Amino acid sequence: MENVNYYLKYLDELEIINKEEKKPTLLLHACCGPCSTAVLAELTNFFDITIYYYNPNIYPESEYEKRYDQFKLIPQVKLIEKCDYNDQEFYNAIKDVDNYDKLKEGGKRCYECYKLRLEKTCKYAKDNNFDYFSTTLSISPYKNSNWINEIGIELMEKYNIKFLYSNFKKKEGYKKSIAYSKEYGLYRQEYCGCKYSLEEMKNYLSDKEKQ
């Protein structure tokens, strides 16, 4: 796709929404509580937000539950839809990714993971009459915001529901999320979520100890 400044498109959309008499509804896919804090702080004045917690990539299940519990500590969270844990959906989504890319952070594995979670969010938003859908994923400096927006646009066109463009790492969004997490006493995980990223984190720590 062409090179697009999604952050400017996002600001343009907020300007349009700000002129409306009623807040539109937004189904916001959330990967974890810490990443959601700064996003919620930014969007609460523009949308009626429901958090959608769908992350079958997270491993193990105890980690899935631990991350979900953090939303209870965030004051801006009013409504949340939690999906049952089913990691097989993640493994099915990446089954055709070769082993090299499965082990590589930021590669094809991650693209398929973004797509899986965004499409599930989009379908739920469409079926439940939300005005918009989006995700907190782009706040992370380790996530490819261009991929996230390109997938979101494809789904918007496929399902005929508005996608809120995002690059929430802009304007120190990630830094703000760290500050909010400290303020609310949130658990901040040390790896993205899946077993591959967990293994990568363990290898990094092991190599660091050897230095």
Q: Which residues of 186-201 are buried (b: 16+ CB within 10 A; e: fewer)?
A: beebebbbbbbbbebe
Domains and CATH numbers, the chain: 6-210 (3.40.50.620)
Q: What is the pLDDT of residues 134-178, one digit of tens each?
A: 999 999 999 999 999 999 999 999 999 999 999 999 999 999 999
Q: What is the pLDDT of residues 35-91, one digit of tens each?
A: 999 999 999 999 999 999 999 999 999 999 999 999 999 999 999 999 999 999 999
- List, as one string, the DSSP characters of 150-175: HHHHHHHHHHT-EE----TTGGGHHH
Please state at what angle helix 173-184 crosses helix 33-43, rounded to 10 degrees.
110
C-alpha to C-alpha distance for 70 and 187, rounded to whole angstroms: 7
79-82 and 132-135: which strand pairing? unpaired
C-alpha to C-alpha distance for 19 and 2, rounded to whole angstroms: 29
C-alpha to C-alpha distance for 120 and 12, rounded to whole angstroms: 26
